[in-house]
Chain A
Amino acid sequence: MKEAILYLQDGTKFYGRTLKETGETIGEAVFNTALTGYQEVLTDPSYTGQMVVMTYPLIGNYGVNDEDMESDTIHVQGFVAKEFCRRPSNWRSKKSIIDYLNEHKIIAMEGVDTRALTRHLRLSGAMKAIISTEDFDPKSLHAKLDKAPSMEGADLVKDVTTSKKYVWKAQGPRRYKIAAIDCGIKWNILRIFASLGCEVHVFPATATIKDIMSIKPDGVFLSNGPGDPAVVGYVITTVKELLGRLPIFGICLGHQILGLALGGKTYKLKFGHHGVNHPVKDFEGNRIGITSQNHGFCVDASSLNLDEVKVIHTNLNDQSIEGIRHKKYPAFSIQYHPEAAPGPHDARYLFKQFLEMIEQNKKQYA
């Protein structure tokens, strides 16, 4: 345990202590307001390049288990909380979060006034931050931050996408074959597809339309993932080509990519949506769901060609776009996380909607 500084790009300083891992780490500081689900957050590839501040002060109470992983490793660049739990309690717990973070050599900081930090990020926006146990000099910390790449314009997908195509088997008999473009896919998406009888072929983000068509999928899934959607041109191009040829469903970064492929633009939100309590209205189903959110970028409503695309879901907190659908082609996407993990299951039905879309598409071309 070592004294540490968390220095923000705008010069604001917070102090605390790190766990075993010391040194320095740089990332974009964002806050997450979920009360539970830190294990899922840590292992969510979408957090690549980010330093996550948990607003709930006590993190690690129920330990870490084998089942709630969202990928095979921790992706956050740093982890900040008020207090990490030394002695977890839960029947599924295999180890404490402290051991887990230490094993993965994550610089994690506790003893921080995370509410003040969160308020600051809300008021000033998400920004680059450095945690250091070695250097407490603001000038030099600032210089280090200046040198670090910013989230805007960062292609982080290439860091997390699978290097080789792999198959996630369906539970029970296979009903559908899905091609997933992996920009940093969360395992729970795969688990849900599997539970619905889908065999998912997970492709590297660089996969071409030819690669995808070669497996003769029933539909294409565009996954979540980290970084700026505008710079993954290679995926956007693939999606443009796929449009109208196969049913498409995108989540989070996948949603932004679809938006871009449809000619829209994306912008960076001030401090993003990271939590599990955002109300979203589904205009098609005329229902409101409490949703799991994790995104810093957003599709710009005014950039969409409304003759082709309609907005189907809206965030009730800030009226931002949460879902779009192509008016002609079988393609839709959702900004938030219907797969939850962590978060409420209110939007699970969207996976079924995708399968229904596939079913209809099949009929049409049968």
Chain B
Amino acid sequence: MPKRTDIKKILIIGAGPIVIGQACEFDYSGSQACKALKEEGYDVVLINSNPATIMTDPGIADATYIEPLTLEFVEKIIQKERPDAILPTLGGQTGLNLAMQLYEQGILDQYGVEMLGAKHDVIKKAEDRSEFKAAAMKIGLDLPRSGFAYSLQEAKRVAEDIGFPCIIRPSFTLGGTGGGIARNGEEFEHIAALGIESSMIHEILIEESIEGWKEYELEVMRDHADNVVIICSIENFDSMGVHTGDSITVAPAQTLTDREYQHMRDCAIKLIREIGVETGGSNIQFAVNPANGRMVVIEVNPRVSRSSALASKATGFPIAKFAAKLAVGYTLDEIQNDITKETPACFEPTIDYVVVKIPRFTFEKFPEAKDVLGVQMKSVGETMAIGRTFKEALQKGLRGLEIDHSGLDNKQDYHDIDYEKIKLRLIEPNASRIFYLKYALQKGCSIEEVAQLSKIDIWFIDQIAQILELEQELKSAVASDGSLSPQLLRRAKEYGFSDAQLAEMMNKSEKDVRQLRQEHGIVATFKLVDTCAAEFEAYTPYYYSTYETEDEAILNNQKRQTPKKRIMILGGGPNRIGQGIEFDYCCCHASFALKEMGFETIMVNSNPETVSTDYDTSDRLYFEPLTFEDVMNIYDVEKPHGVIVQFGGQTPLNLARRLQQAGVPIIGTSVDSIDLAENREHFANLINQLKIAQPANASTTSKEETLLAAVRIGYPVLVRPSYVLGGRAMRIVYDEESLKSFLDEVHSVSRGHPVLIDKFLEDAQEIDVDAICDGKDVFIGGIMEHIENAGIHSGDSACVLPPHTLSKGILREIKEHTVLLAMSLKVIGLLNIQFAVKGSQVYVLEVNPRASRTAPFVSKAIGISLPKIAAQIMAGKTLKDFELPSSDELKYYCVKESVLPFNRFSGVDIILGPEMKSTGEVMGIATTFGAAFAKSQMAANQALPRSGTVFISVNDHDKRHVVLTAKKLVDLKFKISATRGTARVLRDNGIDAAIVDKHQEGQNNALTLLKKNEINLIINTPSGKKSQSDMRSIRAAAILHNIPCITTLQGAWAAVNGIEASLREEFTVESLQNLYVWNCWSQSS
């Protein structure tokens, strides 16, 4: 069937900000889909609130809207754009839910918009638990036994039938909370009661527990002609009970016989047909009882997903791209396999390697939260590794995770760990269980025992045992011979041991190990990911390393020689808090820009969610861990003319010095300049020379020195270890006692790097500047005024561009400092500077001569891609080669708001500080600051109320300052309630504030009112060091009930502005393409 000609314009809804459970994978799938549809000649309209995405680049869709993903705004866009169809299956759960609402509200019908891929009833059948169950049963599929209940009484009856353990899943909960596994009656009553309460419709599903069963996923594609193919099978390392996003997963399935696999395949195909997903990719999860092979179906996602992105990267089959083509009428046999060029997409990829995905956790950011894993996802990113064996891929994955392990190593000495603790760490799934599996084996546990305790399949445990056995063999060889024979060394490499691991065993440097290897000809070889296990010639240079005999990268490079020069871009690795999609955005732009200049680009990254690891993005893709060893292996084969380290965040920067010493030509800002900016002492000298103000500071290497420095500088001080990103372990400290305990805590973080200590500027405004320098000229891309005061990590604070309160004089000074700093640091490329303004004094807080987290936001705001220009400058262009605007005046305001993951970590307080905690960001654009801010809040899913009651409780310091905010709220017809102290100050200032008890006793307490929906907005500034457990539970409840809770005064003032705007005006929507025309100077492509 050819493509449809009755539709011209298609709307795609993106997934919004990066949150836990929805990360870059939807940027990858969304941009693939947009490109595929444009390629077919359709007009693509895109809405996404996330400015850090490639998909929201103005060149990707025809009309791009960075607007809140709410019914209201999408309707406005539909009204304006009048699309013929909507593709709801590419924007994650957010996009899918929104499309469903649009249908249910009659908006799609009203405007005659057709749902492509999956219609409303199909999505409902897949998503609604009871409809899904009925559909699966109709075609004879086995499911876990289950029943619904609406009261505790009823729940108990259902549980009696099912038995323990059982799972309780509340339907429609706020923030996906509630639910859990009950192992006995007592636990059951507790969880069931809570579940019924947290469900909006007081419904819970009680399900037979299949905890400990083997978990599998199949990625399925179907077209209009009813052709169905399985793209990839995935087996989870962790058994049922751990969210698949938090599980280590392996592709393909390892321990299913063909008979079982084909049965699963048959069921998947039947199910997809019964559910009726017309076209596109779906993900189906199964569980298999390891004792008897009983297989049950768990769920279907009728859309592209995190797993489909993984499957695409694991096989080379671009699911989202093809899903888009199928949606507009093509059949699988009409689409060509990009990789082989001669065969159709209607086939099932086969692979000749093993893929391991490992989740990346950031529990260290939330010390109050336990690192225990369960049915709710907690990881913030993932890394994927490819090897010829599971052992190799696992070890590559572990070093690619960047959690300070160079493989399945021995960071902790197993002798020091109590056996009981090890056992517990095996039984209770947790973020570091993979290492405890090894410790347990080292302690002498049998393979069987470890498998039994962890409920991880014995096949996996045996693989780990094999790694351990070789490690022991290596160690004893070193002990007896002082070194390793070439044979052993090769085997070690085949098992995925890194040079760093071997260096430790051999008591040598990594460099020596590398040299020894090379002397014996033991070098990495690169193999292709080609969808077909070499059965057909492959044309896409997508490689992974392994230790084999034939190197296809070398062969292909010889065969397809071009006169083009090569530039290698090092990506950012797995997403984590502080380093995420923003850096991938920069890396992709660098690649696009350099290709445009005629270079051949080589991308190195290990994050399967990203656009950078799409084989379409660069001329060559190396899916490899970002370690010195792995990068050098690629360097040796490719010998690029330049390597870019400044776009991938801290990961490649940390490698810069060693790469340079190894002779790698790093282009752009020199490694020395990067070091100068990072080295406090040298940097302070430079600042002094330039006569720029800086908060008093010191860099210290011992505890005593630090304490003395703090006294000299004067409390409060801001302390942190050097060389960290995202404010890791950064804290504001008010006295010596707190400083001492901080220093004890960060010992592990700093790893020999000095501790940095700064005077903390209280009540100062913080400013971020992104600029580009070519060594002669400086282009200031944007000056961002933070909403929150200095002291809140810049990654967590909201900001506005252009600044709306700074004086011309201050702005001028900031610009002058920026130029001065850029030139003095000899920056070639991007540069980000953080300033603080206190009174009329401008201080420089830090300079980062690299891509910043805000680079995409600024690029989107001004319509000029900063990373693109920076990359071209690094490759030899000058700023003069670009027609850049001299004026920096925008005709609109852009507000960036961060999105925080507090709803995932129960027990964690939501207050902001110098340690970054947000996972993502959204952008609000409007012609007034208030409207832009209000939009940003809506986009961040914390829409400001337009009426109702505001509950105010602020610390003593803020009490006087909150008066103005409260007055304004009263003017806007809000009722005010406040805690006793705050109310007194407000009343003294003539504001009618009702007194609410912050303690939980009594009727009139804040918590009760909040639960009764009698509070619509909370303004609560935490009081310094004192713990405020009452307010803490109120803040937690606010998260649960999704009541906006503002924890800074500046945030409150911005909110009032936003509320005022939303009362004053009807918000409008505008495409980026149109906005840029207003700024006549922007590039619109």
Collect the chain A residues with CB atoms within 8 Å of residue B388's CB: 57, 82, 115
**A87 vs chain B, min Cβ distance (A):** 4
- Docked-complex contact B258 and A36, CB < 8 angstroms: yes
Residues in A10-65 with C-beta less than 8 Å from chain B: 14, 31, 33-37, 39-40, 55-58, 61-62, 65
Consensus secondary structure, chain B interface: loop
Q: What per-residue 1/0 map shows which CB atoms of A342-366 lie under 8 Å from chain B?
A: 1111000000000000000000000
Query: Which of A126-134, A204-212, A271-279, A321-329 contacts the other chain?
Result: A271-279
**A61 vs chain B, min Cβ distance (A):** 5
Tell me whether B661 is interfacial, beta carbon within 8 Å.
no
Tell me whether B226 is interfacial, beta carbon within 8 Å.
yes
Given that A55-B352, A287-B226 are contacting pairs, would A88 and B459 also be in contact in the complex, using a CB cutoff of 8 Å? yes
Residues in B982-1032 with C-beta less than 8 Å from chain A: none
- Docked-complex contact A33 and B347, CB < 8 angstroms: no
Residues in B422-467 with C-beta less than 8 Å from chain A: 447, 457-459, 462, 466
- Docked-complex contact B389 and A115, CB < 8 angstroms: no
- Docked-complex contact B333 and A288, CB < 8 angstroms: yes
Collect the chain B residues with CB atoms within 8 Å of residue A300's CB: none
Please name the residue on chain A nearest to B551 by beta carbon: A116
Tell me whether A155 is interfacial, beta carbon within 8 Å.
no
Collect the chain A residues with CB atoms within 8 Å of residue B349's CB: 277
Tell me whether A317 is interfacial, beta carbon within 8 Å.
yes
Given that A90-B256, A288-B333 are contacting pairs, would A344 and B262 also be in contact in the complex, using a CB cutoff of 8 Å? yes
Kindly state the separation between the CA atoms of A341 and B261 in the bound complex, as whole angstroms.
11
Collect the chain A residues with CB atoms within 8 Å of residue B252's CB: 35, 56
Kindly state the separation between the CA atoms of A58 and B388 in the bound complex, as whole angstroms.
8
**A122 vs chain B, min Cβ distance (A):** 6
- Docked-complex contact A57 and B343, CB < 8 angstroms: no
Collect the chain B residues with CB atoms within 8 Å of residue A87's CB: 447, 458-459, 462
- Docked-complex contact B259 and A68, CB < 8 angstroms: yes
Kindly state the separation between the CA atoms of A61 and B466 in the bound complex, as whole angstroms.
14
Collect the chain B residues with CB atoms within 8 Å of residue A281's CB: 333
Tell me whether B254 is interfacial, beta carbon within 8 Å.
yes
Kindly state the separation between the CA atoms of A332 and B555 in the bound complex, as whole angstroms.
45
Kindly state the separation between the CA atoms of A339 and B471 in the bound complex, as whole angstroms.
45
Tell me whether A340 is interfacial, beta carbon within 8 Å.
yes
Please name the residue on chain B nearest to A82 by beta carbon: B388
Kindly state the separation between the CA atoms of A361 and B782 in the bound complex, as whole angstroms.
82
Tell me whether A105 is interfacial, beta carbon within 8 Å.
no
Q: Which of A35, A88, A275, A286 has the largest number of chain B CB atoms within 10 A? A: A35
Tell me whether B293 is interfacial, beta carbon within 8 Å.
yes
Collect the chain A residues with CB atoms within 8 Å of residue B347's CB: 277-279, 290, 316-317
Q: What per-residue 1/0 map shows which CB atoms of A251-279 lie under 8 Å from chain B?
A: 00000000000000000000000011111
Query: Which of B98-106, B116-124, B528-536 contacts the other chain?
Result: B528-536
Collect the chain A residues with CB atoms within 8 Å of residue B390's CB: 58
Task: Give how many B residues have a beta carbon under 8 Å from the other chain's beta carbons.
Answer: 56
Q: Which of B259, B342, B527, B536 has the largest number of chain A CB atoms within 10 A? A: B259
Collect the chain A residues with CB atoms within 8 Å of residue B462's CB: 86-87, 89
Collect the chain A residues with CB atoms within 8 Å of residue B549's CB: 14, 113, 116
- Docked-complex contact A113 and B255, CB < 8 angstroms: no
Residues in B324-351 with C-beta less than 8 Å from chain A: 332-333, 342-344, 346-351
- Docked-complex contact B259 and A113, CB < 8 angstroms: no
Tell me whether B550 is interfacial, beta carbon within 8 Å.
yes
Cβ contact of B459, chosen from A37, A57, A61, A276, cutoff 8 A: A61
- Docked-complex contact A37 and B255, CB < 8 angstroms: no
Collect the chain A residues with CB atoms within 8 Å of residue B257's CB: 36-37, 39, 62, 65, 68, 90, 92
Collect the chain A residues with CB atoms within 8 Å of residue B902's CB: none
- Docked-complex contact B352 and A118, CB < 8 angstroms: yes
Collect the chain A residues with CB atoms within 8 Å of residue B253's CB: 35-36
Tell me whether B403 is interfacial, beta carbon within 8 Å.
no
- Docked-complex contact A277 and B348, CB < 8 angstroms: yes
Residues in A64-81 with C-beta less than 8 Å from chain B: 65, 67-68
**A113 vs chain B, min Cβ distance (A):** 4
- Docked-complex contact B527 and A118, CB < 8 angstroms: no
Please name the residue on chain A nearest to B548 by beta carbon: A113
Tell me whether B286 is interfacial, beta carbon within 8 Å.
no
Tell me whether A175 is interfacial, beta carbon within 8 Å.
no
**B409 vs chain A, min Cβ distance (A):** 22
- Docked-complex contact B258 and A342, CB < 8 angstroms: yes
Cβ contact of B533, chosen from A56, A287, A288, A345, cutoff 8 A: A56
Collect the chain A residues with CB atoms within 8 Å of residue B258's CB: 34, 36-37, 39-40, 68, 276, 341-343
Tell me whether B660 is interfacial, beta carbon within 8 Å.
no
Please name the residue on chain B nearest to A83 by beta carbon: B389
Tell me whether B833 is interfacial, beta carbon within 8 Å.
no
Q: What per-residue 1/0 map shows which CB atoms of B163-198 lie under 8 Å from chain A?
A: 000000000000000000000000000000000000
**B265 vs chain A, min Cβ distance (A):** 6
Tell me whether B229 is interfacial, beta carbon within 8 Å.
yes
Kindly state the separation between the CA atoms of A33 and B343 in the bound complex, as whole angstroms.
16
Tell me whether B583 is interfacial, beta carbon within 8 Å.
no
Collect the chain A residues with CB atoms within 8 Å of residue B552's CB: 119
Apart from A56-B352, A87-B458, 6 more pairs, CB < 8 Å: A33-B535, A35-B351, A57-B354, A58-B389, A61-B459, A316-B346
Smallest CB-CB A-B distances: 10 pairs = A37-B258, A116-B550, A342-B258, A89-B459, A55-B533, A87-B462, A36-B258, A277-B348, A113-B548, A113-B549
24 contacts between A and B (CB under 8 A): A33-B533, A36-B258, A36-B261, A37-B258, A57-B389, A58-B354, A61-B255, A62-B255, A67-B259, A82-B388, A85-B459, A91-B291, A115-B388, A115-B527, A115-B533, A116-B548, A122-B537, A275-B350, A278-B347, A279-B333, A290-B229, A317-B343, A340-B262, A343-B262
A residues near B, CB below 8 A?
14, 31, 33-37, 39-40, 55-58, 61-62, 65, 67-68, 82-83, 85-92, 113-116, 118-119, 122, 275-279, 281, 286-288, 290, 316-317, 340-345
